[in-house]
Amino acid sequence: MTDLTADAVSTDLEALQLHLRSILASVPDGMIVINEKGQILAFSSAAEKLFGYKAEDVIGQDVSQLMGGHDQSNHQNYIGAYLKTGKRHIIGVGRVVSAKRSDGTMFPVDLKIGEARVGDSFLFTAFVRDLSEQRRNELRMQEMQAELVHFSRMSAVGTMASALAHELNQPLTAVANYLEAGRDLLDSDSEDAHEILHEALDEASRQAVRAGEIVRKLRGYVSRGEIDARSVPLTPLLTDSIALARISGDLADIPIDKQIVSDIGAVMADPIQVQQVIINLLRNAAEALHGVAAPQIFLGASRGPDDFITVEVCDNGPGMSEEVRQTLFKPFMTSKSQGMGLGLSICQTIVEAHGGKIEAIPSADGGTCFRFTLRRDAAS
């Protein structure tokens, strides 16, 4: 009788083991069973493919070898903390983490963990789904969107630049003509030469003022009440701006230290225009960093003053002279041979049209900090 029961039990056990083996062979996600010490007890066929290990090579090994960075060194503490406090951080919840293949390469996975109590101890079963393909697609989508935004912005800038060139051509040609005529009059003995010269210079100065007005109108055009201000979460806006600037190659490999207050919330803004400001500042910073030994850009965002949020773009470049600082936001002020000197002027127009302010201050390490404010969405 006793033997019969033992037989039944062993048959059950065998059946269970067979069942487990068939699960391990067919479960589509990587499945890894570990004990409380983090030792691997079972490793499914899909996990073998994902990680590039054979089950027999990893069974009995520490599971942390399948993880990267922080998780690798802390995994045993996670289990310890869970067993002690019963507080679930990942069990039953799922999380996206980095996993490590046998060749050391990392890949993103969706990790879900289930637990089972066996007598006094626990077994944990991890289900691992490879997200590499999904991430690649997401990234490609983002890149395509970024290219699209960049393209439409470039064509808008192109249209504006040719309109500007066309409009400015006329008064500037007039200025040149009046001045040339004036120069010729200087050598003339004619009686009324002095009077005509007077008129020519008057006219030249009127045309120069007109050219200035065209530029002012252009600045108005950039922000002509067309601000479609809405609540925009700031962190993704800043991150997208960096991505856009990187895609255009303007930032080279300069590292960007991003310090955005975690509860920064949202701003009331036209996202495309604000992106234009940030990209401009990043590009200027990168240009100022040409030839600097350890170039570094800092992008920060914090709350305040009052109902505003302050965004800062700093660099550890050579800084700027007082003279440049004075004229920084004036159109056509540039120290670059290829520069248009319109970037900061447009930045100022956009920021002010949003109700904010922009200024340049020296940074602690001798470079430059551009700081601007945007209205915070009080509801965020």
Element housing 235 (H / E)? helix 234-247
Q: Work out which of 76, 324, 355, 359 binds ligand ADP, going by CB under 6 A.
A: 324
Our finding on whether 335 is near ligand ADP (CB under 6 A) is yes
Q: Work out which of 3, 60, 336, 379 binds ligand ADP, going by CB under 6 A.
A: 336
Task: Give, in degrees to the nearest 5, the angle at Cα 116 between 115 and 121.
Answer: 110
Element housing 254 (H / E)? none
Q: Least distance from C-beta 212 to ligand ADP, angstroms?
A: 16
Residues 60 and 33: their CA atoms lie apart, in Å, by 11
Pick between residue 266 and residue 288 the one whose CB is nearest to ligand ADP.
288
Pick between residue 47 and residue 342 the one whose CB is nearest to ligand ADP.
342
Pick between residue 190 and residue 321 the one whose CB is nearest to ligand ADP.
321
**β-pairing verdict for 95-100 and 297-303:** unpaired
Contact positions with ligand ADP (CB under 6 A) in 50-69? none
Q: Least distance from C-beta 327 to ligand ADP, angstroms?
A: 8
Q: Work out which of 340, 352, 371, 380 binds ligand ADP, going by CB under 6 A.
A: 340
Contact positions with ligand ADP (CB under 6 A) in 341-380? 341-345, 368
Choices 45-53, 199-207, 279-287, 351-359 (CB under 6 A): range interacting with ligand ADP: 279-287
Our finding on whether 334 is near ligand ADP (CB under 6 A) is yes
CB burial of residue 296 (10 Å; 0-12, 13-18, 19+): middle
Pick between residue 126 and residue 285 the one whose CB is nearest to ligand ADP.
285
Q: Work out which of 218, 328, 350, 358 binds ligand ADP, going by CB under 6 A.
A: 328
For residue 280, which of 361, 344, 352 has the smallest C-alpha distance? 344
- Beta carbons within 10 angstroms of residue 192's beta carbon: 11
Q: Least distance from C-beta 246 to ligand ADP, angstroms?
A: 17
For residue 242, which of 202, 193, 281 has the smallest C-alpha distance? 281
Pick between residue 345 and residue 349 the one whose CB is nearest to ligand ADP.
345
Q: Work out which of 273, 284, 349, 373 binds ligand ADP, going by CB under 6 A.
A: 284
Q: Work out which of 92, 114, 304, 339 binds ligand ADP, going by CB under 6 A.
A: 339
Residues 328 and 336: their CA atoms lie apart, in Å, by 13
Residues 366 and 294: their CA atoms lie apart, in Å, by 13
Pick between residue 264 and residue 279 the one whose CB is nearest to ligand ADP.
279
Q: Work out which of 50, 285, 299, 309 binds ligand ADP, going by CB under 6 A.
A: 285
Which parts of 59-131 fold into alpha helices (H)?
69-85
* Cβ atoms of 311 and 362 closer than 8 Å: no
The length of the chain in residues reads: 380
The DSSP letter of residue 67 is: B
Our finding on whether 207 is near ligand ADP (CB under 6 A) is no
Residues 223 and 217: their CA atoms lie apart, in Å, by 10
Residues 77 and 193: their CA atoms lie apart, in Å, by 93
Q: Least distance from C-beta 321 to ligand ADP, angstroms?
A: 9
Contact positions with ligand ADP (CB under 6 A) in 293-322? 315, 317, 320
What angle do the packed helices 234-247 and 132-186 form, to 10 degrees?
A: 70
Q: Could you identify the residue written with the tokens 């912005």?
A: 153
Our finding on whether 108 is near ligand ADP (CB under 6 A) is no
Q: Provide the β-strand partners of residue 125.
A: 33, 114
**Residue number, nearest CB to ligand ADP:** 343
Our finding on whether 248 is near ligand ADP (CB under 6 A) is no
Residue at 351: amino acid letter: V
Which residues contribute to the site for ligand ADP (CB under 6 A)? 280, 284-285, 288, 315, 317, 320, 324, 328, 333-336, 339-345, 368
